[in-house]
Structure 1
Amino acid sequence: MKIEMTSSQLERLKALGGNIEAGYCFESTAQREAEFKRLEKALVLEAKKNLNTLRTGDRRPMLCKVQEQLVEALTSEGFVQVVTPTIISKKFLERMTIDDDHALHTQVFWVDKNKCLRPMLAPNLYSVSKDLLNIWEKPVRIFEIGSCFRKESQGKSHLNEFTMLNLVEWGTAIGNRDNRIRELSDLVLKTLRIEDYEFEEEDSVVYGNTIDVVKNGLELGSSSKGSHPLDAAWGITDSWVGIGFGLERLLMIREQKNNIHALAKSIAYLDGVRLNIK
């Protein structure tokens, strides 16, 4: 009879960064225990090595470094970085059509009956853009990198708190919008050294028809374009393109990790390495 790793052994190895899956079989319990200890020891040594490299190297986690790289790349292309509040009003969500009956409403973390932790960056970017379009000549290019919060289903590719990059360009020629979405997506993904991705048309619960960036079946980013029905709530009529990326997902794909939590803001992991390794 074939003997498999126990569920606790598999979870331990996965937490340490191993890619061991169920179905890894042995001839005896003794053989399984010996192999588990060998794999665990090797992964712990690798984890300690990586933590020491972080400590003696540039001392900054990947999530921090990619934000800096993206800021440099986007500002070099004429985008202006903005920083907006994490707590937003309920009326901002309602302008995005997210009312009490919307599918996304149950995923929102409410602070009180009129305020919540933002589930997306778009409402604040709409508000900032509305004023900038009255001040600056087009094209107006802005972006934000910041935390968003959703009551997502827990799994290896979802987080309750995640880091979003959201960029928008106002004044894009209508006939060039799809091409511009691909150009800006290429800029972001090239900056982070991610290759071999695809563009797919999808239907979003907020934006309707979108062009998503996908790799290995995982959505890395989602775009939209306007004029869009949502624009009217903000008094905007200009043509535009916008794209949002989850940075932890980008890192998960680039670093070939099997668990997005290792690359997120965490007290259990540091720069992809499990801290409880003894």
Structure 2
Amino acid sequence: MSFPWTDVQKKRLSELNSDAVYAEPYFSTEKVRDDAFKKEEVCLVKAGKQKLNTLRTEKRRPTLCEVESQLVSALTGQSFVQVTTPIIMAKSMLAKMTIDEQHALFSQVFWLDEKRCLRPMLAPNLYYISKDLVRLWEKPVRIFEIGSCFRKESQGNNHLNEFTMLNLVEWGTPEEQRHERIGEFADIVMRAVGISGYRLELTSSVVYGDTIDVMQGDLELGSAAMGPHFLDGKWGMSCTWVGIGFGLERLAMVKDGGRNVRSVGKSLSYLDGVRLNI
């Protein structure tokens, strides 16, 4: 007979960002298992305390905040203009993205009342302001936003109810350069945060249809699309474009070598990847 980790042990190891929880080891006796768990927990707690001390004495900013600063610096250095838009979004804005009661994303929205919600994505607001910017500025128009989004996501190590998105878009991209631009902009982002070994993969999404995902292993870090697109007309847009969205918590998790995206997000239980009940 063999003994795997108990559910309580797996939960604790997951909280502490242990690789051991994913190995699914089996032990000859319960005592051997429990001794192995205790040894692993002690090592993880020690490492966590050391990381918190480094945050206090050297870094002074969590990786998530560092990632945001690195992205702002890299993108503004490439002629992108940063914008900021409201977190509260009108239901009509989602409808323009085809997100209605029949849409798969609709049930994940946090509604404040019948007409307003917490934004589940940045794209509607960027569409809204872009229709004026492409009129006022010479193309190409490059803008980006970094901000909180909210979805009733399924539980798991790669999802959060509140997460930080980066969306960047270039309006007026020459049609023959769209695929090349996606690769260039993905490279700017990944270089800025220090992540290598990624790939671009053709896939699809529930909003944009065909998309190009930025993948590292089996983890999606970002997703890109291009236009003209069937959504553009709803916003009065008609020019060619490319855009990419990234989840900053996933970028921070990969950058830190973590296993649990909740540990690097906005939290009362974690700080910079470290569980505080250690």
TM-score (norm 2): 0.96
Secondary structure of residue in 2 paired with 1:201: strand
Residue type at the aligned position of 1:50: K
Equivalent residues in 2 for 1:65-144, closer than 5 Å: 65-144=66-145
Secondary structure of residue in 1 paired with 2:12: helix
| Contact 2:97–2:231 under 8 Å retained in 1 | yes
Q: How far apart are 1:208 and its partner, in Å?
A: 1.2
Quote the residue 1:162 is aligned against. 163
Gaps of at least 5 residues in structure 2 are: none
CA distance in 2 between counterparts of 1:205 and 1:3 reads 42
Q: How far apart are 1:268 and its partner, in Å?
A: 0.6
Please list the CA deviations of residues 242-271 of structure 1 after superposition, one character each: whole Å capped at 9, or x if unmatched: 100001111222322221111111111000
CA distance in 2 between counterparts of 1:195 and 1:120 reads 26
After the TM superposition, list the runs of 4 or more consecutive aligned residues in structure 1 that deviate by more than 6 angstroms.
none
CA distance in 1 between counterparts of 2:254 and 2:40 reads 23
Would you say 1:11 and 2:7 are equivalent positions?
Answer: no
Q: How far apart are 1:198 and its partner, in Å?
A: 1.2
Q: How far apart are 1:102 and its partner, in Å?
A: 1.3
| Contact 2:62–2:272 under 8 Å retained in 1 | yes
CA RMSD for the aligned pairs? 1.2
Quote the residue 1:2 is aligned against. 2
Residue type at the aligned position of 1:95: K
Further displaced range: 194-203 or 117-126:
194-203
CA distance in 1 between counterparts of 2:4 and 2:106 reads 42
CA distance in 1 between counterparts of 2:94 and 2:24 reads 46
TM-score (norm 1): 0.96
Secondary structure of residue in 1 paired with 2:187: helix
Please list the CA deviations of residues 48-98 of structure 1 after superposition, one character each: whole Å capped at 9, or x if unmatched: 110011011131100001100000000000000001000010111111111
Corresponding pairs, count: 277
Alpha-carbon spacing, 1:23–1:208, altered in 2? closer, same or farther (3 Å): closer
Secondary structure of residue in 2 paired with 1:229: coil
Further displaced range: 113-122 or 97-106:
97-106
Percent of pairs with identical residues = 57
